[in-house]
Structure 1
Amino acid sequence: MYSLGLMKFVIIAFIASVEGNNQVHIFARRIMTTLTVSRGHSGEKESKTLLKATTVITGGSVYTMNDLFDWYPDGAVAMRHGTIIWVGNSAGLRDHVNLEGASTVNTRGHPIMPGLIDSHMHPLLAGIAVLSCVLDSNSVKLADLQSKILACLEPETTSKDEILTVVNWDRPGFNSVNGHDATYRDLEGLSSRPIQLKASDGHSTLVNESLLRLLNITATSLNPPGGKYAKDASGQPTGILEDSAGYQVLKLVKPSIETLTTAASIAQSVINSHGVTSVVDAAVTSQLQVPAYSALYDAGNLTSRYFGSFVIFDPDLQELKTVLSNFSQLRTTHETGPLNAAPGINLGGIKFYMDGVITYPTSSGAVLEPYLLPDPKNASHWIPANSTIAPFSSGSNLTEFLDIVMENNFTVHLHADGDAAVRTLLDSIEALPYDLEDNRIAVAHAELVDPIDYHRFRELNIRLIMQYQWAQDSTSYHAINGTKDTSHSLGPVRMGYLQPYGNLTSMGNNVIYGSDFPVEPLDPFLALQIAVTRMGSLTDKNSAASQNPIFYRPINDQGPLSRIIAMRGFTTYGAQWLNASSQIGSLEVGKFADLIVTQHDFFDLSVPNESIADNAVLMTMVGGQVVYAADSNISNSSSQNRQSGRDFPVPQALWSATAFEQQHSWRRRDPEKELMRFGGLREGCGLHLHKH
């Protein structure tokens, strides 16, 4: 007869070996739970002195997401001033915790999990878009587009010289419906005021003639590093600015601090409602994000942990040290110090673009083999272009760039979409004269990776930040009418390599999740369903399959993730990348009380994988403060079929005062419905695969 201790040891070893298998791992953990003599963890030896709690959450399963995947079917989490002091089964709560005077939430059967970490998004841009002129899915035909812009121009309440920013422009849709790519001439006669249309993919901008003049873009203008001025057959600019070329408009747009803080507040209200407690802003600038989030923090209005990566558009090595010195000064001025229970600001990253995007028609992602183009003699036949698209930076320059950035104590957040961009950065990192320390460099997107490079990420100690939802089919891959789409521009072989996070995981890589919100919908449970099934949802309106069932299919045979591994991308793996594993990412003693209560149990294996998206967040807590709670008996989710009304009380004493005010103020405007009108959260147009 084996001893109980030996049995537990054997099961623990078994668990460690099968984490990628949903059923086996979860079943093993539940056996482990029944064998566990201790009813909880306090982090202290047994003592007659009970731990004094200020807040306790009980009533549902607690999934800790710790290394052993500890799970308590009737669980409780006790905290003191925002830090967890005990977690375990409710039966052991009073034996370890002094509950006198503590505020209590009983979730009435709803499960409790760690707060979600979104490691790649653009939150301020989401809020700014709500305050801008927003196109809807019907603004594709030229006449409809012009009509919408005119409505935003009238009545004129601003200076004739102020730039009108129009967001959510569907460039591929415009091209398809109108039979030509847009030019500045399509905006003629609307207004003499400068106008810019920001494409929903974040990589194209259309400007009118007035703005072309302001930017001094002419036939002789050279393309900026990492960008392109589109020109017609005669060499004249068309008004299309691609990638970094479009960011020049930022220098002319100077929103007020009031506008910035309002935008940031709108965005974080939506973020909190989806259970996201920590965000990584993947393109921070000194004139936008830094003042906005500093103002929120100074006013006590920050309700999520904010990690930012300063964006560098031109990696000029001669100026790099000066640029990094300026960023370091901004860190000194605006960072809020070590992580605390209350959310703060960390600005320790540098973002750099290796290429654009691989989706048609932009096709600016760097690729090893040429994109395919329609044959001029036979439009249904696609032939290779005359040349490939090269990365924005060469290998030797990138190696030096990375070395200097890390020497200045920044982490590196690299955008690399195509297989050539990925290969170049891998070669550049391999050329460094030293081995990488943990969590110094992460690659975002990696949509297209040559399989011979899969093993190199782990060998070189590089992190991967990927978007689970891009593995579902949509109009970005397959056109409903015609053949002008990504599947034809890439061809069948490369289509088979897309979104390889399952195969990368099987090679030992820990894939971190980033939504790319607002370019993509912020819909964590849809993303988790797609991670597990490699297909979309027939019921979630953020999925193309819900708009047209033809898209309810996988795009290729790349492998899926298990539920546990997919959730780790939202929790423990994200915390590791942020070098914050001792503070966030799991529900453990000594960590901050960042947690969510969900409507349904994500790990309930009786729920089919195809129904994972039919879930919702009922309550979000950051550092022990409630920053979101769904109203009772209301529907407040992205799925058309689920109800997310909260059926348990939340004491007002637990609310962050700011979050309570923001939620109830912005609920009157319903920011989620406003966000539906642009970017990722578009109603009735399906999912478009784009990224920043």
Structure 2
Amino acid sequence: MKFSGLFMAVATLALVGCQTRSTAPADMVMRNGQVYTVDGQDSVQQAIAVAGGKIVYVGNDAGVSSYVGQQTQVIDLAGRMLMPGFIDAHMHPGDGGRALTLCDLKYQPLTRPMFQAAIQACLDASADKGPDVWLEVGSWDRMAMVGLDGDPDKSTLDALDTKRPIQVRSSDFHTVLSNSRGLALAGVDRHTANPADGKFVRDKAGNPTGICEDGAANMVASVVPPVTDAQKLKQIRAALDAMREQGITSFMDAYSGAENGKAFTTLQHSGELTARALLAIRLDPHAAAADPVKTIAGVKSLAAAYDQGETKVTPGVSLRHVKLFMDGIINAPADTGALLTPYLHNAGSDTAPEWTPGKNLGELYFPRQVLDPLLLQAARAGLDPHLHATGERAVREALNSLQYVRQQLPGNAFRPAIAHAETVDPADYPRFKALDVTATMSLQWAQQSPSVLDSTGDHLGPERLERMEPFGSIHNAGGRIAYGSDWPVDPLDPFLALKVGVTRSGDPLNPHSFGPEYAGKLNAEPALSRAEVIRAITFNAAQQLNLDKVLGSLEVGKFADLIVLDKNFMQVPEQELARNQVLMTVVGGQVVWRKEHASGLDPKGLSRAALAP
């Protein structure tokens, strides 16, 4: 990674190209490219100019020449694609950075023996740690493991050669597996009640198996001593480094709190914050049920400490969102996403399965009597709600409550979003537009995977599987689709997500897909066009985050957040859409990342004569 004092800028209207020689020189000019603006017409230009971190020109090469002065830094794009910076409208950077420092299972499909061997290797590598030091394990693909040889339990970890407490976090962040020592330290036994937003999986005798879902997972995780401030900063730096390389210039931290607020603010003050941080504070259903006014007041108190007000050219910290978990996940074996009709269960055998409706409808953590007054208080307080909802019942209840708030506060400009929406009843597709609710989708989930085809699909049933990941249907019904990676639930790979958004299939050559065996389309749900997925990760995400007046497209007056791509996303063959990379990332006119040895992207002091077409 390289840092530089370079500046960039862009604009869209053709009339802007008519400049005089008296135009003030720009800090940076980029020319001879394919400048994909994401303006109202998705226009493509040749050149941009930036001054003071803002776009002052977008147009052709001839018009940009008047912006070149003696101090202007000029970059020849050599025909490369330049576009707005990626805006990730749902990720978990604190967890992402932390995952890079833990015992890492690397999202691999593991049998129980392989799982045990990988964790034992981490224990052996940290043999200097005392018996009371927790081993934290991350990026566990529980869904794939269940498909291989079943769900593990505490005995799987108890068999390891250690006295240390162990906590294994699933890659979806909704499950924790703990060994017996860990459960004891957490005070969890057969008498421990389930929290309002989760459960401890139990055996027939009522004893906890070690599998902890949602709120129960958080209870166990909370026993692990928190990291120090220095460790937290290290984790956030690692997350920002990953984002820079992937071209992410703004992001929502979709499960945040004071710890992350403090870390991002510290890095902002030291000049190390290289992407715009928007924090969403998780709301607890039990606290919300007891006193919604007090719950929202607590968020406003955090906002007073960490929100930096109006978005500025220099990356800053904003806190104006709240996060609510409406349900768990629809993926097997958890089956905690809230459905309208029951999950299927195998009434037969493994060799002769018979999938029939059971009694499980999943979990709904915010009933309407709690959700309605809570969202109403949030909107009145100027906070935008961001609702996790994977199952169709959770999506419907979220839409019902948002409709209630719209009716109670006509004209209120709050911007709600429903994240994931993996199963949605078709009757609810047009409600996203009608209620002005953004569907924040992890596009990469619309590819085939072992966990979906070999287990989750059976639990959902063929009808629900056929309409899984319905971003195309919501879009076709007029809804707004924004992109959210959900990192580190999946590896951070925006180009794979965009590719899957266009084809609804993975890339067998991409390590974050699942190989030739799972290279087909997930289902017959409609896909998005290339222009639509680009809009989802730029302008639509900016709209969700209330940044669209200053970000999301390359237009005069907006902030110069932009990226240069190795390949033109609009032109490469479909099978190559995920095989791209960012060569340069610019935030507020400042180059925060440049790929080493990227040919031709070093700035040059060119004369106006050299810029002549």
1:541 maps to which of 502, 511, 528: 511
Q: Which amino acid aligns with 2:238?
A: I
Q: Does 1:417 align with 2:390?
A: yes
- 1:387 deviation in Å? 3.6
**Contact 1:51–1:85, Cα closer than 8 Å, also in 2:** no
**Contact 2:382–2:414, Cα closer than 8 Å, also in 1:** no
Unmatched 5+ residue regions in structure 1? 1-32, 480-484, 633-645, 654-692
Mapped to 2, the partners of 1:189 and 1:587 lie a distance apart of: 55
What CA deviation, in whole Å up to 9, does each residue of 1:383-434 have, x standing for no partner? 1112422411212221111111222221100000001111111222223323
**Contact 2:86–2:538, Cα closer than 8 Å, also in 1:** yes
What does 1:97-116 align with in structure 2 at a 5 Å threshold? 97-116=67-86
2:116 counterpart SS class: helix
What CA deviation, in whole Å up to 9, does each residue of 1:276-317 have, x standing for no partner? 110111100223x12221221122110111111011233433
2:22 maps to which of 30, 49, 56: 49
2:368 maps to which of 375, 378, 395: 395
**Contact 1:103–1:651, Cα closer than 8 Å, also in 2:** yes
Higher relative contact order (CA 8 A, sep 6+): 2
What does 1:87-98 align with in structure 2 at a 5 Å threshold? 87-95=58-66, 97-98=67-68
Mapped to 1, the partners of 2:110 and 2:569 lie a distance apart of: 38
**Contact 2:90–2:485, Cα closer than 8 Å, also in 1:** yes
- 1:560 deviation in Å? 0.9
Q: Does 1:610 align with 2:587?
A: no
- How many residue pairs are counted as aligned between the two chains? 588
Equivalent residue, structure 2, for 1:647: 599
2:301 maps to which of 309, 329, 336: 329
Q: Which amino acid aligns with 2:392?
A: D
Q: Which amino acid aligns with 2:586?
A: M
**Contact 1:366–1:390, Cα closer than 8 Å, also in 2:** yes
1:374 maps to which of 329, 346, 355: 346
Mapped to 2, the partners of 1:449 and 1:77 lie a distance apart of: 41
Equivalent residue, structure 1, for 2:359: 386
1:238–1:533: structure 2 CA closer, same or farther, 3 Å change rule?
Answer: same
Mapped to 2, the partners of 1:652 and 1:281 lie a distance apart of: 37
1:475–1:138: structure 2 CA closer, same or farther, 3 Å change rule?
Answer: closer
Moved more, 174-183 or 384-393: 174-183
2:586 counterpart SS class: strand
Moved more, 390-399 or 342-351: 390-399
2:332 counterpart SS class: coil
- 1:438 deviation in Å? 4.1
1:143–1:554: structure 2 CA closer, same or farther, 3 Å change rule?
Answer: closer
Mapped to 2, the partners of 1:134 and 1:140 lie a distance apart of: 12
Structure 1 length-normalised TM: 0.81
Equivalent residue, structure 2, for 1:457: 432
What does 1:487-498 align with in structure 2 at a 5 Å threshold? 487-498=457-468
What does 1:74-93 align with in structure 2 at a 5 Å threshold? 75-93=46-64
What CA deviation, in whole Å up to 9, does each residue of 1:216-250 have, x standing for no partner? 11212111011011110000111111011111234
Give RMSD over aligned pairs.
Answer: 2.2
**Contact 2:466–2:523, Cα closer than 8 Å, also in 1:** yes
Equivalent residue, structure 2, for 1:299: 270
**Contact 1:439–1:579, Cα closer than 8 Å, also in 2:** no
**Contact 1:312–1:351, Cα closer than 8 Å, also in 2:** yes
Equivalent residue, structure 2, for 1:476: 451
- 1:159 deviation in Å? 4.5
1:422 counterpart SS class: helix
**Contact 1:443–1:464, Cα closer than 8 Å, also in 2:** yes
**Contact 2:379–2:414, Cα closer than 8 Å, also in 1:** no
1:476 counterpart SS class: helix
Q: Which amino acid aligns with 1:223?
A: N
Q: Does 1:577 align with 2:544?
A: yes
Equivalent residue, structure 2, for 1:666: none
Structure 2 length-normalised TM: 0.91
What CA deviation, in whole Å up to 9, does each residue of 1:139-174 have, x standing for no partner? 833333333323323344444323221112232343
- 1:467 deviation in Å? 1.3
Q: Which amino acid aligns with 2:266?
A: A
Moved more, 316-325 or 125-134: 316-325
- 1:137 deviation in Å? 5.9
Identity between Structure 1 and Structure 2 (%) = 34
Mapped to 2, the partners of 1:562 and 1:185 lie a distance apart of: 46
1:67 maps to which of 33, 36, 40: 40
Mapped to 1, the partners of 2:603 and 2:241 lie a distance apart of: 19
Equivalent residue, structure 1, for 2:9: none
Q: Does 1:308 align with 2:279?
A: yes
